[in-house]
Structure 1
């Protein structure tokens, strides 16, 4: 059990006036006790209490070798686990619940004469500010991603299909010490790149195609994420102009990051540059997302998020322009907020590249 992280969550609970917090997100439980379990449909709840009576409600089906450092209430498939949790909460006044808690678990708990509120922010805020150990792991994960991108560039010259590139990339990650993709990679050739979340198909490259490569790996339980856009054999003036515009917006946004600003301020920097060039409608997603144990964690860099930037935050900066039926361009790095700015975690080059 990571007591420092738990203490930080307890501080957030105190600010929210919660005497108890029920956590059901396996990634958040892993973050706090260094143990990951996928319970499938079964009840799996970590309960934090301001009086220190922390508890894990855990099905006997799952075998744990190590001491998790927290009291465990075991139950079987035929036990009423929610009744056990109700008994645990019988004296609670205000209980924060996880945003991912299923209704089939929450509704039985609401029989209690207790106030239930959304409490995920208590954990999400703490997870959003990475400690030194997490920062070191995520820096390494991005270094692996940089190395993998260099090898992907050479493989693209061999004109594999988008689908084939997925498996080839996974082999590269394994060779470099990563355990898996952090998300299904995106290889978008030509007009497929105009779909920001294109699913790979049997397309092969044609001269003049843009190539969006959005990829990330998992290293020691933490995710990386990076996007680069290449061009196959030739590039048109329009493609070149759009690429340079997206790069200008991306670099400007990264340069603007510093503690004390709002996340929405950074989105505005990139969005204004792209809008002033006439492509505002074609930049159709937020500028970035938080990342850590999951590729997309709570928090984003968007016009709707006025949260204050703080040291230790790690998020993506990924402006893009997507022209349906033609091509797309996206450039993405991860950044770590420092005391006076940010550290860009990706170092793979961003100048326009034509694959011969």
Structure 2
């Protein structure tokens, strides 16, 4: 159990007047408990109490071979888990509910406990947004692995592999580096496929003049990396050069602007204004970035509507892009960590325009 993190969550609960918080996201429970579990369809709840009488609700199938530092209420598949949870919450006034709590467990509790129910996820999410020293070290290591793997991807792109074959080769290479696997399904967008920001790998092969969007990441000891680079195959047109250099300018300008106290919407505006002024505003059709940590997409984003204030220890992506449907796309993405006076880029893989021969 990570008492320091739990204490920070309790402070957030106090600020919001929450006396019980139901944490059901397995990743958040792992973050607070240092215990990994995949509950499937079964009820799995960590209850944090403002009074300090925390409780875990575990199905008997979840063998715990270690002391978790918190009392456990065990139940099996024939027990009424929500009723047991409701009995524990019978004196609750305000219950914070995890954004991921299944309705089939929550509604029976609401039927039994007359309390005010509020979305309580921010109590954990806001703590997860600022990484501690251990997390920072793991995320820098994961990004270092990603840098190494990107170099291997560049080499493999010259070997006439399909997008799917590149995906498979990348996974094997990640594992050879000591990563546990992909942090998300990688994007290998050849040519016009790269104009779809979330293209799924298919059996396309490269043709001279194709742009290649490579968006990839791995997991190292439970923490994710994420990076995008855009290459060109055999040749590059003048238009492709212009778009590439525009996206690179937006990426670097946004990273240079980051500092504590700045609204993340202002960071988004730095990159978006550069691309819009060049006439490609509609073709930059997604937010500038997302938070990352134990999940590849965590709570919080860098967008035009984000009121989040940059604070030291926050790690998020900066990934402007331009997507010309039916033609090509360009995206350049780094992970950055907010520091006391600016930011530090986690990735070191080069960003200059590269043509694969």
Tell me the TM-score normalised to structure 1 length: 0.99
Question: Distance in 1 between the 2:294 and 2:9 partners?
Answer: 17
Aligned to 1:234: 235
Q: Secondary structure at the match of 2:282?
A: helix
Q: Is 1:166–2:178 an aligned residue pair? A: no
Deviation at residue 222 of structure 1 after TM alignment: 0.3
Q: Cα RMSD over matched residues?
A: 0.5
Q: How many positions carry a matched residue from both structures?
A: 356
Structure 1 residue matching 2:72: 3-state secondary structure: strand
In 1: Cα distance, 2:23 partner to 2:38 partner: 14
Instruction: Determine helix, strand or coil for the equivalent of 1:187.
Output: strand
> Does 1:308 pair with 2:315?
no
Instruction: Quote the Cα distance in structure 2 between the aligned partners of 1:95 and 1:339.
Output: 35
CA deviation profile, 1:291-337 (whole Å, cap 9, x unmatched): 00000000000001011110000000000000001000000000010
Alignment partners' CA distance in 2, 1:298 and 1:244: 30
Cα-to-partner distance string for 1:218-262 (whole Å, 9 max, x where unaligned): 000000000000000100000000000000000000000010000
Mapped to 2, the partners of 1:99 and 1:61 lie a distance apart of 24
Q: Tell me, in whole angstroms, the C-alpha distance in 2 between the residues paired with 1:12 and 1:340.
A: 26
* Alignment correspondent of 2:138: 137
Deviations 1:99-128 (A, max 9, x none): 111111111111211111000000000001
Aligned to 2:48: 48
Structure 1 stretches of 4+ moved >3 Å: none
Aligned counterparts of 2:218 and 2:66: Cα–Cα separation in 1: 27
Q: What is the alpha-carbon distance in structure 1 between the residues aligned to residue 176 and residue 185 of structure 2?
A: 18
Instruction: Please name the residue that 2:285 is paired with.
Output: 284
Aligned partner of 1:346 in structure 2 is 347
Alpha-carbon distance in structure 2 between the residues aligned to 1:104 and 1:348: 46
Deviation of residue 49 (structure 1)? 0.3
Distance 2:164 2:7 in 1: 45
- Gaps in structure 2 of 5+ consecutive residues: none
- Which residue of structure 2 lines up, in the alignment, with residue 154 of structure 1? 155
2:115 and 2:260 mapped to 1: Cα distance?
A: 38
Query: How far did residue 70 of structure 1 move?
Result: 1.1
Aligned to 1:70: 70
Aligned to 2:22: 22
The corresponding residue for 2:32 is 32
Distance across 2 between alignment mates of 1:75 and 1:218 = 32
Distance 1:67 1:267 in 2: 44
Per-residue CA distance 1:123-147 (angstroms, 9 max, x = gap)? 0000011001000000000000000
Q: How does 1:1-356 map to 2 (within 5 A)?
A: 1-111=1-111, 112-356=113-357
